[in-house]
Structure 1
Amino acid sequence: MSDSGYLRYVALGDSQTEGLGDGDDVRGLRGCADRLAEELAKERPDVLYANLAVRGRLAGQVRAEQLAPALALRPDLATVVAGMNDLLRPRFDADEAAGHLEAMFAALTAQNARVATVTFPDIGRIAPLARPLGPRVLALNDRIRQAAGRHGVAVAEMSRYPVITDPRLWSPDRLHASPLGHAHIAAAVAHALGLPGSGDGWTRALPADVPPPSGPRALAAELRWAGSFLGPWLVRRARGLSSGDGREAKRPALLPVAVPVVPGQGGSGIGSRAFD
């Protein structure tokens, strides 16, 4: 099948694929997978799309809960993005997390699906308090590349471009992409897949903005972030809770894709900044 002929797209993953940071639970979430589906629909309006992702899921949970339903949908395109929640756990095992990803790569490609995944940015550049996790990110990314190479999986190299850690691409919690960030992720995956109209525009730095705070102001910002987001997250972990408890996939069935039209732009409204 040609890169422009995908008809059945299924997304597997956690909160990024579900779309947190791009919309909300009242108005609905969009997110990078929805945005990629919209790009596919530009070429094939009859494309069908399912999103099985659920926030908070570890790579093993994505495999256990989403792989079988994904295979049952017989996708010709699948995205598999997981591992960040594993990376944030105290007992992180890069081989174990990547092993679950590779099992999903193997099963989906064995069914003749084209599969794409991503590498993760250095979260220490997004949240300085997370700098000690840098070696974990490097280890997981290395194993993702190796596993992807063994199964012919396309890799969107989010880790290699400084723009991906620009604060404007991240929501206030610094764990989930902003709408602009989700557009960049979708553009990166489209580029890795070689979709018509895709390009490397997503790799370029954004226009200059107000310099980030430094000194006491920077410290105060970190403390506010820790109190507003890191603290509650740690409390949930200590209590054995997850943001995804009791939640189900937002789009478990293959459905047609509605491409939103932004006034003055046309198309999906993602913008040429990410997709040129």
Structure 2
Amino acid sequence: MESNATYTSFVALGDSFTEGMSDGLPDGSYRGWADLLAGRLAARAPGFRYANLAVRGKLIGQIADEQVDAAAAMQADVVTLVGGLNDTLRPKCDMGRVRGLLEEAAGKLAPSCGQLVLMRSPGRNGPVMERFRPRMEELFSFIDELAARHGALVVDLYGVPALGDPRMWHVDRLHLTAEGHRRVAEAVWQALGLGAEDDWKAVLPPAVPPGWVRRRGSDLRFAREHLVPWIGRRLTGRSSGDGLPGKRPELLPYDTPLS
């Protein structure tokens, strides 16, 4: 059912998915689903404020330590929390600890905001992700339980075939394209009860399968430029987000430029 609600503030927490890494803009910056959603919400509410605390590569423990208390203090109308997936992609993952940290985070955020939004993150189809899929699905089942306990909304991106289409994913096979981010923004918009702009679940037209040579070339470039560095960071405990601040760490009017 469509809602007439007006949201005047939005805070996003998480990792690269919420930071919004994708194909990128000409100036080298990223405009992800949270930025797109903030822009649409701002158009409905004069003085709308937006913060994005997300940092690429963050594990759920880091999100809990570095982002949750700050977000709770902002007392926003809408808070999105997406975390834990990076943990499941590590060689070793303590799922009990992940669940406990998510529970703690939701317990702090839900009472401090108007509406907490959780997500079952999208997963790209392909052999690399199959190894981690059982952990991912365990995480997403827990997110459903968490939402029921805390009155949160769940946006189920994982269960939508269109978002598993390789054409929705950047060449690094870890981050969505601009179209993928646009669809996620629409999914959250609709989950908040706002009027649909389009069908974000719509499947893409059939693709012409690339030839063997092109596929192998693409796989080799992916391995060299993205997979090997990613594995190296996982094995050494480093993160692409080490030392980086939140994307938009203060709850400011939407039209306030980033410093």
SS in 2 for 1:43: coil
Separation of aligned partners in 2, 1:137 and 1:204: 23
Supply the AA of the counterpart residue of 1:57. Answer: K
Who is 1:264 aligned against? none
Q: 1:121 to 1:27 in 2, by over 3 A?
A: closer
Q: How far 1:154 sits from its partner (Å)?
A: 0.6
Q: 1:215 to 1:129 in 2, by over 3 A?
A: farther
Q: Structure 1-normalised TM-score? A: 0.85
Q: How far 1:214 sits from its partner (Å)?
A: 6.0
The answer (yes or no) to whether the contact 1:119–1:141 under 8 Å persists in 2 is: yes
Who is 2:137 aligned against? 138
Q: How far 1:25 sits from its partner (Å)?
A: 9.6
The answer (yes or no) to whether the contact 2:50–2:251 under 8 Å persists in 1 is: yes
Supply the AA of the counterpart residue of 2:140. Answer: N
Who is 2:181 aligned against? 182
Separation of aligned partners in 2, 1:103 and 1:153: 14
Q: Structure 2-normalised TM-score? A: 0.90
SS in 1 for 2:68: helix
Q: How far 1:26 sits from its partner (Å)?
A: 4.5
Q: How far 1:218 sits from its partner (Å)?
A: 3.4
Q: 1:161 to 1:200 in 2, by over 3 A?
A: farther
Separation of aligned partners in 1, 2:213 and 2:31: 36
Who is 1:81 aligned against? 82
Who is 1:203 aligned against? 201
Who is 2:12 aligned against? 11
Report the more deviating stretch, 104-113 or 245-254: 104-113
Query: Where does the alignment leave 5 or more consecutive residues of structure 1 unmatched?
Result: 260-276
SS in 2 for 1:80: strand
Separation of aligned partners in 1, 2:88 and 2:10: 27
The answer (yes or no) to whether the contact 2:123–2:163 under 8 Å persists in 1 is: no
**Percent identity over paired residues:** 43
Supply the AA of the counterpart residue of 2:110. Answer: T
Q: How far 1:181 sits from its partner (Å)?
A: 0.7
Who is 1:113 aligned against? 114
- Aligned match of 1:228 in 225, 228, 252? 225
Q: 1:189 to 1:98 in 2, by over 3 A?
A: farther
The answer (yes or no) to whether the contact 1:22–1:31 under 8 Å persists in 2 is: no
Who is 1:268 aligned against? none
Q: How far 1:225 sits from its partner (Å)?
A: 1.4
Q: How far 1:236 sits from its partner (Å)?
A: 1.9
SS in 2 for 1:160: coil
Report the more deviating stretch, 50-59 or 67-76: 67-76
The answer (yes or no) to whether the contact 1:156–1:191 under 8 Å persists in 2 is: no
Query: Where does the alignment leave 5 or more consecutive residues of structure 2 unmatched?
Result: none
Which aligned pairs between 1:252-263 and structure 2 lie closer than 5 A? 252-258=249-255
Q: How far 1:93 sits from its partner (Å)?
A: 2.7
SS in 1 for 2:200: helix
Who is 2:244 aligned against? 247
Separation of aligned partners in 2, 1:254 and 1:121: 27
Who is 1:263 aligned against? none
Who is 2:60 aligned against? 59
Supply the AA of the counterpart residue of 2:128. Answer: L
SS in 2 for 1:11: strand
Supply the AA of the counterpart residue of 2:139. Answer: L
Q: How far 1:242 sits from its partner (Å)?
A: 0.8
User: How many aligned positions are there?
Assistant: 254
The answer (yes or no) to whether the contact 1:45–1:257 under 8 Å persists in 2 is: no
Who is 1:31 aligned against? 32
Structure 1: which 4+ aligned runs deviate by more than 4 Å? 214-217
Deviation readout 1:67-118 (Å, 9 max, x if unpaired): 1111121212100011121011111233322322222222111124301121
SS in 1 for 2:171: coil
The answer (yes or no) to whether the contact 1:38–1:258 under 8 Å persists in 2 is: no
